[in-house]
Amino acid sequence: MPNLSNTAPNVCMFACLSDNYGYLVHHAASNSTICIDSPDPSKILEKANSLGWTITHILNTHWHADHAGGNEKIQKETGCRILGPKEVNSRLNAPLDETLSGGETLEFGDLQIQVLATPGHTLEHISYYIPSHNIAFVGDTLFALGCGRMFEGQPEMFWNSLKTIRALPDETQIYCAHEYTLANLEFALSIDPENTDLRNYGTKLKELRAADKPTIPTNLGMEKLTNPFLRADNPVFANFLGMNRYASENVFAHIRKMKDNF
């Protein structure tokens, strides 16, 4: 259930499609309800209605259909305003009212949301960070113990995006778009078997999934210790992979290719 505080943004997270998460962020003070991406418009509208919230905005992270495919239906039902990278319209032909590219600050009353440029999964992928409450919605750039596939970007671009997210405070709660965690855990353990933090974290994650509970949000501080894709510049880890003489973006690319073939 969402936190029903009158001052803090209330995040409602719910499963949809096969492995996506839907997110509604309600800010009572500004009478705003923000939908992060639009993977399953019927489920999203149903959830908003059940909470008595009217969606006022959609913030898209990137153009893929399981992130922006519900824009039209939700806007038709609610009249909401849609913001996101231009690829949402140019690649998917989904409605978009305002283009974002990173560096903007969105204001909903006293709630500020920073837009971060995080390309790599797609060329114009962006993420949304609420600094006042240490919350980040990162789409398909970062997952619990993983990262998105590098469909369009280059290793240096994607690695820089991961460093952008990694630079946020350790307390940041990372809301990613998919429940891929156990598969990511299996891969992480295969290439980082001596990581005690990873093994301990993995035990907790398995317990959550065994109880049919989500592993999201994940804590950024823990991800910095355990996520192999955030540790490409860790000299001990790079040495374990036999890549201590390589640039960090090349280590990242190597790990990403290993995951693709895992």
pTM above 0.85, yes or no: yes
Spans of all domains in the chain? 8-99, 109-262
For the chain, give the number of residues. Answer: 262
- Cα–Cα dist 132/172, whole Å: 10
On the 0-12 / 13-18 / 19+ scale of CB atoms within 10 A, 236 is exposed
Q: Which helix (H) or strand (E) holds 78?
A: helix 71-78
Q: What is the pLDDT of residue 5?
A: 41
CATH homologous superfamily of 8-99: Ribonuclease Z/Hydroxyacylglutathione hydrolase-like (3.60.15.10)
Q: For the stretch 114-138, what's the b/e string if a residue is b when 16 or more beta carbons lie within 10 angstroms of its beta carbon?
A: bbbbbbbbbbbbbbbbbeeebbbbb
* Residue 121 vs residues 157, 203, 240: alpha-carbon distances, Å: 10, 29, 26
Q: What is the pLDDT of residue 131?
A: 96
Residue by residue, DSSP assigns 7-22 as SSPEEEEEEETTTEEE
- Cα–Cα dist 71/74, whole Å: 5
Q: Average pLDDT for consecutive 10-residue bins of the chain (262 residues)?
A: 60 96 96 97 98 98 98 98 98 98 96 97 98 97 98 97 98 98 97 95 97 98 98 92 92 96 96
Q: What is the pLDDT of residue 8?
A: 85
Supply the residues annotated as catalytic.
Answer: 62, 64, 66-67, 121, 140, 178
Q: What is the pLDDT of residue 245?
A: 87
Question: CATH top-level class for 109-262?
Answer: alpha beta
Q: What is the pLDDT of residue 7?
A: 73
Identical topology for domains 8-99 and 109-262: yes
